């Protein structure tokens, strides 16, 4: 693989290879992840696991695009900005939510009116409508208004991820912070790299991003650790699909962390920080896919009961 050369002359071949690697990794997680993770665990087969995982990936990716652009425009400062993708990202998330609603009806054998009455159906409907409103706001002259409906979509997704709680409990609160931080890290990094490519560089933009990313990383690490300790008994980590996927996610998270530190070190020394940042973004894309898979594999919470 040919990595980018000197500042201002990024290698298109290297970027294309990394993009292809990200796509292949995401597709592998979506199509094969659930089956591989539950091999030998004795857990029941999840109906339409691959389709559900892919739609969850699209939902999370759409949220990251929209949230990341909202933050990225503030980090970019003065100068030309890349084409706006927040509205497209929000529309993608809305379409994925609607498709998940239809899939839920098809898998359960229930009619749509009945599915709308289910807790998961209502939350998917809220997510779809909130993302649709966010797309309208993002395409308007005041794109910052999209922050409120995007927050509503994240809260709805957090509640959906914690069916064991009737209301907004500690687990849902941790997921709201975790999902927001993950969207900021992935989406903002993508936006900042697009800004740098458009401008041919921009050390100040990267410095502002690095400062924000430090807080985002801390929020991810804390909420992820606490959520794992609450949700997954340590003695069944290797014996459940959830635990196995989580271990792979943690390994990639560690790799992405090292790449982020490498990029920061190169930035502080005046070198080009974009090569490790691009690889970091590729790792984050696969992490997003694994996060989606975690919402599909059997919930280990039942082991506690």
Query: What's the pLDDT tens digit per position in 73-114?
Result: 999 988 899 999 999 999 999 999 999 999 999 998 988 889
Check residue 268 and give its pLDDT. Answer: 87
Query: What's the pLDDT tens digit per position in 172-201?
Result: 889 999 999 999 999 999 999 999 999 887
Of 86-95, 208-217, 225-234, the range with the lowest mean pLDDT is 225-234
- Output the CA torsion sign for 46, 119, 180, 240: negative
pLDDT at 24 over 70: yes
pLDDT at 124 over 90: yes
pLDDT at 305 over 80: no
Check residue 1 and give its pLDDT. Answer: 37
Name the average pLDDT for the chain: 88
Check residue 234 and give its pLDDT. Answer: 75
Query: What's the pLDDT tens digit per position in 128-175?
Result: 999 999 999 999 999 999 999 999 999 999 988 765 555 567 888 899
Check residue 3 and give its pLDDT. Answer: 43
Sole residue written with tokens 């100040």: 204
**What mean pLDDT do residues 247-268 have?**
92
pLDDT at 8 over 50: no
**What mean pLDDT do residues 278-283 have?**
94
Q: What pLDDT band is residue 302 in, cutting at 50, 70 and 90?
A: low
CATH number for the segment(s) 15-36+47-295:
1.20.1630
Whether this prediction's pTM lies above 0.75 is answered by yes
Of 159-163, 244-248, 256-260, 262-266, the range with the lowest mean pLDDT is 159-163
């Amino acid at each position: 693989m040919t990595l980018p050369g000197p500042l201002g002359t990024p290698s298109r071949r290297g970027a294309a290879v990394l993009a292809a690697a990200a796509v292949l990794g995401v597709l592998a997680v979506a199509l094969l992840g659930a089956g591989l993770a539950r091999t030998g665990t004795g857990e029941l087969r999840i109906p339409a696991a691959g389709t559900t995982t892919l739609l969850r990936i699209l939902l999370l990716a759409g949220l990251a695009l929209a949230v990341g652009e909202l933050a990225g425009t503030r980090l970019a400062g003065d100068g030309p900005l890349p084409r706006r993708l927040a509205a497209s990202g929000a529309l993608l998330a809305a379409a994925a939510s609607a498709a998940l609603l239809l899939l839920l009806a098809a898998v359960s054998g229930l009619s749509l009116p009945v599915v709308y009455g289910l807790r998961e159906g209502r939350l998917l409907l809220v997510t779809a409508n909130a993302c649709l409103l966010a797309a309208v706001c993002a395409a308007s002259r005041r794109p910052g208004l999209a922050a409120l409906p995007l927050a509503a979509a994240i809260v709805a997704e957090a509640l959906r991820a914690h069916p064991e709680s009737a209301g907004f409990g500690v687990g849902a609160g941790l997921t709201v912070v975790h999902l927001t931080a993950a969207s900021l890290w992935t989406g903002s990094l993508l936006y900042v790299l697009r800004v740098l490519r458009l401008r041919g560089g921009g050390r100040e933009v990267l410095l502002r991003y690095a400062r924000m990313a430090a807080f985002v990383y801390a929020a991810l690490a804390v909420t992820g650790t606490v959520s794992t300790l609450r949700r997954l008994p340590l003695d069944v980590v290797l014996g459940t699909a959830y635990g196995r996927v989580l271990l792979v996610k943690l390994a990639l998270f560690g790799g992405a962390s090292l790449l982020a530190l490498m990029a920061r070190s190169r930035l502080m020394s005046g070198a080009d920080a974009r090569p490790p940042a691009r690889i970091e973004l590729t790792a984050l894309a696969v992490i997003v896919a694994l996060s989606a898979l975690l919402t599909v594999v059997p919930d280990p919470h039942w082991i506690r009961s």
